[in-house]
Amino acid sequence: MNTSWALVIWLSVGAYAFKMLGFVVVGSRKLPDVLSRCLLLISAALLAALVFNSSFTSSQSYAIDERAIGLGVAIIAAWLKLPLIVVVILGAATTAFLRAL
């Protein structure tokens, strides 16, 4: 496991811990709306960081290769509101096809 994956995992654990700590500290009081919206977006931001890390980096440098093209196809499929399984299969098949060339 390289350093960036370890960092992302620790940030995920930290985000979860802060959410749990919020339940203990805040209790039954209502959080401000701005803070509630920010807490909802933490998991999406961490997932985006994982996808970027695995799609656009190779070893210790940036790389645009088959993975990035497969991700692009999956993004377009998701934008077209195709079912999730179709999005995953299209992205994986595109990446596998380009690697086979």
**Tally of structural domains, the chain:** 2
Higher pLDDT among residues 79 and 23, named by residue: 79
What's the pLDDT band for 16 if we cut at 50, 70, 90? confident
27 and 53 inside one domain: yes
What's the pLDDT band for 1 if we cut at 50, 70, 90? low
30 and 76 inside one domain: no
What's the pLDDT band for 18 if we cut at 50, 70, 90? confident
Span between the terminal Cα atoms of the chain, in Å: 29
pLDDT of 25 reads 77
6 and 34 inside one domain: yes
Provide the token pair at 34.
């701005």
pLDDT, tens digit, 9 for 90 and up, residues 52-97:
888 888 777 887 888 899 999 999 999 999 999 999 999 999 999 9
Q: Which domain holds residue 85?
A: 64-101
